[in-house]
A and B are shown apart, each in its own frame.
Chain A
Amino acid sequence: MSVPRIAVITTVYSYLSHAQHFVDRFLVGYAYEGMWHYPAVDVVSLYVDQRPVGDQSADRGREFGFNVYPAIAEALRCGGDQLAVDGVLIICEHGDYACNELGQILYPRFEWFQECVAVFEAAGRAVPIFSDKHLSYDYAKAEQMIADARRLNFALMAGSSVPVTWRLPDLELEHGCVIEEALAIGFGGSDPTDYHALEGLQCMIERRHGGETGVAAVQMLEGAAVWSALDEGRWSHQLLEAALSRSDSPQGLSVEDGRTQDLLGSGELRRLATEPVAYIIEFRDGLQATLLMLNGAIANFCFAARLEGSESPVSCQFLVTPKPNVNYSASLVAKIDEMFRTGRAPIPADRTLAVSGYLAACLKSRHQGCVRLETPHLSATYTAPVESHHAHR
């Protein structure tokens, strides 16, 4: 096969934007498994939706020899009449887009995907797509994306870098393990950052016995209700302690004088996390998974689970490697690179569908006063890959 030709469709292309993290690595290579790896793909066209101050799209096109086109279809056709690329990278993150009443940023991920699908249909040929982060803010749209990929038989991959970054320790759950309960902690806003935390959670629990079975109900809790739920044992104290034990960014007294802290045991957790949020996911096979967003108390993404037959939980931190390198992006680019070269998605987009779905459902729960919402629509099932895809070599 000749070198795959890639079109990039993005919201903005500026320093430290997602587009810059991903596309630059295709242009200048990336550090991976102890080597500088130059991907055997060519970026041949670019569509950029917004050009704020610091826009780099024209410079990159000039330096690396590709055109910037004014429309998505043109980028896919490289200015001609026919689909002229072998893969598409859609990066809808950053930029100025409206928010809806649920607090979701209305990135046009679905709409752009549909424009690509229209070009594929016209060409009678479809090529792999990577769509950064969620598939869509709307579950029906996300489902449609998966269905289109199946109908036209092209590889689709999506999601966050959190599942593929280094883990401290290098924890991977045994495929087919029985998980009694799972919990993640994170920080940041909704819905850009909670998405990362939820994908971290999902990439671990999808390996459980029976695979992913879909979601029966969700509930979001905020503020004092989170601490009441903790007191009532709505999720495991042991798992929360385990997840917190993996954080190396406790705030408060650690910032003040450097001391280590038992945030849960000392009560500091409640003092520091003034606006806690809980995302409670009840899966159809009975597993409960909880994400606690603990702004003000910690600044890491960590995971913990209790496995059947084991008294001690398992836990890890998803290492968000430092700026500006953010080399975790390289771990994801390596997987995208692999898809473009092989035509197969190493990581199932069903994971992203599942997370897009229960995140949107949680935000609906919040919008309706944090009620528990049954989710008959979240019925998609899938089987996790056996192979590990996170950075570990």
Chain B
Amino acid sequence: LSRRPRIAAVVTEYRKHSHGQHIVDRFLEGYGWNNRHHRPEMDVVSLYVDQRPEGDLTQDRISRFPQMKLCDSIATALTLGTDDLAVDGVVLIAEHGQYERNEKGQHLYPRYEFFMQIVDVFRATGKTAAVFNDKHLSWNWNWAREMYEVSRELDFPFMAGSSLPVTWRNPAIDMPLDARIEEAMCVGYGDVDSYDFHAFETLQCMVERRAGGEAGVHWLETYSGDRFWQAHHDGLWSRDLFDACLCRSHSLTSARDGFNHTFPNVDEQKRLAEPLAFRYQHADGLPATVIMMNGLVQDFNFAARLEGMERPLSTQMYLPMPPKWTTLASFFSPQVNNVEQMFLTGVPAYPVERTLLTTGLVIAGVDSLQQEGARVATPHLDISYPAPSVSTFWDS
């Protein structure tokens, strides 16, 4: 492009600490990046906000950034009221807001619905723009798959996902490209159909770099309550990897009053934690486990056993989390920066197939939990893709 890219923002909510605020604010206000207050070389020219709850910041942002027009429909945000596509990129942020849950407990965020309204404009105008979709693609697998297929059919750059793959790491390591991984694990926290997505993405951004690249997932099963502890005892997943994850945490709950950091034994873990494990097997045989360890940690930690390595490779994907630890959720900065690169170059910084796969894993997890933890076959997750050779996490 010879001029600054023009961006449309489509969000469910724009209030303090909603994803809409974190992401769109960074395009508008800039953010700390590479030793400067960086201002993206592009303009957000339109904004669609689906819900305006108490604390809504839309009006404040519209008045302070007059180049950004508030639009009453997604189509208008993309055309600016003309017959033509008027933007070069779209950020779609359908996280937060009052949306119903279905009988499985899935939050029915309208990612697919918003996406299809965007695609309708693409089809009507015969033009396309790059799209970034925050978090997973859709709560409904067929819809998620359709979003992916449509992006291929119309051939527009499409990125999605969590900020976990791109945030700071302690230590600042990446999975060696073409590593032979024997087993992988993420120990995180949060709820089903919510933060579990971040944990799946944490694990996936590392294991996709293994020899042969990503091959897809064959099945997934879940463990909670006593079944979790029995499986933990039986060694269904590696105790070494689990311990390594706990040792990477900055927020391990102390099992003892008056001590601020102890390593909990299993009895203490049982007392403190409400665990939930998603155990799944990749098509090339790689076993992976995502453990949501609510009560024990409040961060996302990764560990893997590599062929020929005595000790696990482990790191924490560090989230400077407001309001408890910081005032800014700075992990959105590397995410926005990667999206900016797509808007500038037309090339996604990392593959959307990663998020298609993790979307499927979240849904499979919900399905397994519906069936009391049963193993769910996932023949539809035959998603293979090569990892980008360049690391995209925040290390500069």
Contacts and interface: CB of A to CB of B under 8 A. Distances in A.
Nearest to B245: A34
B34 interface: yes
Given A242-B36, A249-B328, A260 B311 contact: no
30 contacts: A24-B259, A28-B259, A30-B261, A31-B252, A32-B247, A34-B248, A34-B314, A59-B258, A166-B318, A168-B168, A241-B35, A245-B33, A249-B326, A249-B327, A250-B328, A255-B327, A258-B328, A260-B29, A260-B30, A260-B31, A312-B34, A321-B250, A322-B250, A322-B251, A324-B260, A325-B250, A327-B261, A330-B261, A391-B171, A392-B171
A110 to B, nearest CB: 29
B53 to A, nearest CB: 14
Interface stretch (B18-26, B122-130, B337-345): B18-26
A25 interface: yes
B230 interface: no
Given A261-B29, A325-B261, A391 B252 contact: no
Nearest to B303: A34
B328 A262 contact: no
Interface in B146-189: 168, 170-172
Interface in A24-61: 24-25, 28-32, 34-36, 56, 59
Residue among B16, B250, B314, B324 facing the most chain A CB atoms (10 A cut-off)? B250
Contacts of B243: 35-36
Nearest to A255: B327
B49 to A, nearest CB: 15
Interface string A322-354: 111111001000000000000000000000000
Contacts of A313: 35
B244 A245 contact: no
B32 interface: yes
A36 B249 CA distance: 11
A304 interface: yes
A327 B31 CA distance: 28
Contact of A31 (B32, B248, B318): B248
Nearest to B250: A321
A373 interface: no
Contacts of A15: 258, 260
A169 B263 contact: no
B272 to A, nearest CB: 14
A314 B250 CA distance: 26
Residue among A59, A169, A258, A330 facing the most chain B CB atoms (10 A cut-off)? A258
Interface string B255-293: 000111111000000000000000000000000000000
Given A246-B32, A258-B17, A312-B34, A325 B312 contact: no
A29 B35 contact: no
A327 B171 CA distance: 13
B37 A250 contact: no
Given A170-B172, A260-B25, A304 B35 contact: yes
A325 B259 contact: no
Contacts of A294: none
B258 A325 contact: no
Contacts of B259: 20, 24, 28
B260 A257 contact: no
A303 to B, nearest CB: 11
A253 to B, nearest CB: 9
A169 B394 contact: yes
Contact of B32 (A32, A244, A393): A244
A24 B60 CA distance: 50
B30 to A, nearest CB: 6
A304 B395 CA distance: 16
B244 to A, nearest CB: 5
Closest 9 CB pairs of A and B: A245-B32, A262-B37, A242-B35, A324-B260, A34-B314, A248-B330, A31-B247, A258-B16, A248-B326
A208 interface: no
B60 A254 contact: no
A196 interface: no
A262 to B, nearest CB: 4
Judged by DSSP, the binding face of A is loop
B314 A247 contact: no
B320 interface: yes
A62 interface: no
Contacts of A168: 168, 318
A247 B32 contact: yes
A303 B250 CA distance: 22
Interface in B306-346: 311-312, 314-315, 318, 320, 322-330, 333
B396 interface: yes
A17 B29 CA distance: 40
A389 to B, nearest CB: 14
B254 interface: yes
Nearest to B331: A248
A392 B172 contact: yes
Interface in B86-104: none
A255 B326 CA distance: 9
B21 A34 contact: no
Contacts of A35: 243-244, 247, 311
Contacts of B394: 169
A230 B57 CA distance: 34
B209 to A, nearest CB: 19
Contacts of B320: 248
A84 interface: no
Nearest to B336: A260
Contacts of B262: 28-29
Contacts of B26: 260
A313 B396 CA distance: 12
Contacts of B330: 248
B91 to A, nearest CB: 16
A60 to B, nearest CB: 9
A150 B260 CA distance: 36
Contacts of B16: 256-258
Given A169-B172, A313-B35, A28 B250 contact: no
A151 interface: no
Contacts of B254: 324-325
A97 B341 CA distance: 55
